[in-house]
A and B are shown apart, each in its own frame.
Chain A
Amino acid sequence: MRIKALTIRILRQIFRDKRTIALLIFAPILVLTLLHFVFNGSNYEPTIGLVDLPEAVSNSLNSSEAGHFQNYDHMKEAKSAIEQRTIDAYLYMDGSQPSLVLEGSDPTSNRAVMSLLQNAFNSPDKKSAKMDIDFLHGGSELEQFDYIGPILLGFFVFFFVFLIAGVSFLRERTTGTLERLLSTPLKKSEIVFGYVIGFGIFTILQTFLIAAYAIYVLGMYMEGAFSLVIIISLFTALTALTLGILLSSFANNELQMMQFIPIIIVPQIFFSGLFNLEAIPEWLSWIGPLTPLYYTADALTSVMVRGTGWGTIIENILLLTGFSLLFILLNILVLKKHRKI
């Protein structure tokens, strides 16, 4: 009954604070929406200058729809156009060999020019080179957004629960309510469980709204079961909650709580798979498995992109539970500072 009272109080506090609610639900929705448009925006179509090319070549290029073409008679015109950045590259004949000059300052346009030219020169003429391409997971319609989406979903749950739980426990300490709670027969474990259940319920609601929006409105790739996404989020929230409460003991005010963000939260993003984990130098790669977000991201990507079930995520869930248990234990030890029994 005491745990229930704590749970109700925590939920009341969260829902009473309209601005925080807006932050917790609309901030992730806003960020995901922006990312959706940034990553899924139409592909960049480069403009390429063609300097005095044989008719066969320029005709075949002009038929390509992935870019725009500008014909020049002289090299000089093309050079001045590329300097003014009206074209991204120009193609000319160096003897019998076609040569390409790129503007070069923007990797995106570089890549767009290269892939356009590769396609134009290779594909239609050489029918023999054509092959069937199958995807084990995902598919050719899988976009960058679909890959980073699940990781971000996990990140939002982790980040917001960490911050809100940390700050509310910090306030509990600084306003003296923690002392008052400890002057009652309430057990320390009851305090921790009250927090876990209160924030657990809230996280289910938060994840439900954000995930439903991402999947059904933004069309994020979703292969697996929705319920698994909620379960993974719940365990992520549990870890974030217990870590947030633990670290709040080492902060004297809200600002000091914020100072944990660049130290505890941001590094986790780098090891969560948002950037290719293989690219991390070997001497740093041991950090990833020590960060909870690593397991959240792996589980969410498995379910949402690869469509796997319980079997593949159970290990991640267990590891997240392990983190939580460790943090709960440390929390109870830290609470001993406030009351010995």
Chain B
Amino acid sequence: MVGDSDVVCVNHVSKRYGDQAVLKDIHFSIRKGEIFGLLGPSGAGKTTLVKQLAGLEVPTDGENVIFQQRMPSLQIMKRIGYMGQSDALYGELSAKENLEFFAAIYGLKRKERLQRIPEVLKIVNLAGTEKKLVSSFSGGMKRRLSLAISLLHEPELLILDEPTVGIDPVLRKSIWQTFDRLKSNGTTIIVTTHVMDEAEKCDRLGLLRDGKLIAIGTPTELMADTSSQSIEEAFLVYGGAVHEN
């Protein structure tokens, strides 16, 4: 199942903290240009897995291969945009100063910065707020600015941990439209979520529960497989099946 066109290969990955197993033999791959959703309740291991993919953590067993290179690798990290669960912004600085700072960290030249900053602000609908201090931003604005930062260096792979938490439905819709646009430009996107209606918008889904990948497939496949009407129902069926074992 791991092929050459795959951008991300998670190869029998396990992670233990002490005697607590957080990930148990996870194995799957993600193709170029797809939106891959990791779905599961909190504590299922979603964040641990995406942190490994972002190069922040290493597995206890197995390996993560991204763009044909074993993670963590500083070379590959240049090509990844990562947004964690916290907004990770500097409240004392303005939106523009935050963007300028991270753009420089990603190694964007001055000219590229001048061009990219208005672009990403427009993508997340924050144009016109660049002079405002981030501390005066609302929760949704902070989340969008955080997303804008992860888009600055035009990453080929975007890893987003719960990108739409605390964002109202209208904005959530516009953010998903952004994902679709990025996808059509060839960007691969990994999102974690525990919102079921969001899961349906992904090309493929991985269902995580207690550190195990209990199912993987397109939303339609998963629903058909369990003869459910919704992803939520499908998730419960898969989860129940695990319990019966």
Contacts and interface: CB of A to CB of B under 8 A. Distances in A.
A26 B88 CA distance: 31
Given A12-B97, A176-B84, A176-B88, A341 B72 contact: yes
Contacts of A6: 101, 105
A115 B150 CA distance: 74
Contacts of A17: 92
Contact of A338 (B56, B92, B149): B56
B227 interface: no
Contacts of A184: 77-78, 102, 105-106
A176 B73 contact: no
Interface string A155-185: 0000000000000000000011101111111
Interface string B49-91: 0000011111000000000000011110110101111111111
Nearest to B74: A185
A181 B74 CA distance: 12
A334 interface: no
B139 interface: no
A183 B86 CA distance: 13
Contacts of A2: 104-105, 107
B167 interface: no
A153 to B, nearest CB: 28
From B55, B75, B149, name the one whose CB has the most chain A CB atoms within 10 angstroms. B55
A339 interface: yes
A184 to B, nearest CB: 5
A127 interface: no
Interface string A93-104: 000000000000
Given A1-B104, A183-B54, A185-B77, A175 B82 contact: no
A13 interface: yes
B92 A12 contact: yes
B93 interface: yes
A9 to B, nearest CB: 5
Given A9-B101, A13-B90, A185 B56 contact: no
Given A1-B104, A176-B88, A180-B88, A339 B72 contact: yes
A111 interface: no
B84 A1 contact: no
A265 to B, nearest CB: 25
Contacts of A182: 56
A3 B136 CA distance: 27
Interface in A101-117: none
Interface in A219-240: none
A174 to B, nearest CB: 8
Contacts of A340: 57-58, 72
A76 interface: no
A180 B104 contact: no
Contacts of A187: 74
B84 A179 contact: yes
Contacts of B85: 176
A340 B51 CA distance: 12
B157 to A, nearest CB: 12
Contacts of A13: 90, 92-93
A179 to B, nearest CB: 5
Given A12-B92, A13-B92, A13-B93, A176 B86 contact: yes
B55 A12 contact: no
Given A9-B97, A17-B92, A340-B58, A175 B107 contact: no
A304 B78 CA distance: 50
Contacts of A338: 56
Contacts of B102: 180, 184
A340 B73 CA distance: 10
Given A182-B56, A339-B56, A9 B106 contact: no
A183 B150 CA distance: 10
B74 A341 contact: yes
Interface string A325-341: 00000000000001111
From B75, B85, B89, B101, name the one whose CB has the most chain A CB atoms within 10 angstroms. B101
Given A177-B88, A339-B56, A5 B105 contact: yes
Interface of A: 1-2, 4-6, 8-9, 12-13, 16-17, 175-177, 179-187, 338-341
12 contacts: A2-B105, A9-B90, A12-B93, A12-B97, A17-B92, A176-B85, A177-B90, A183-B56, A184-B105, A186-B105, A339-B56, A340-B58
Interface of B: 54-58, 72-75, 77-78, 80, 82-93, 97, 100-102, 104-107, 133, 149
Given A175-B91, A340-B72, 17 more contacts: A2-B104, A2-B105, A5-B101, A5-B104, A6-B101, A175-B86, A175-B87, A175-B88, A176-B85, A182-B56, A183-B54, A184-B77, A185-B77, A185-B78, A339-B57, A339-B72, A340-B57
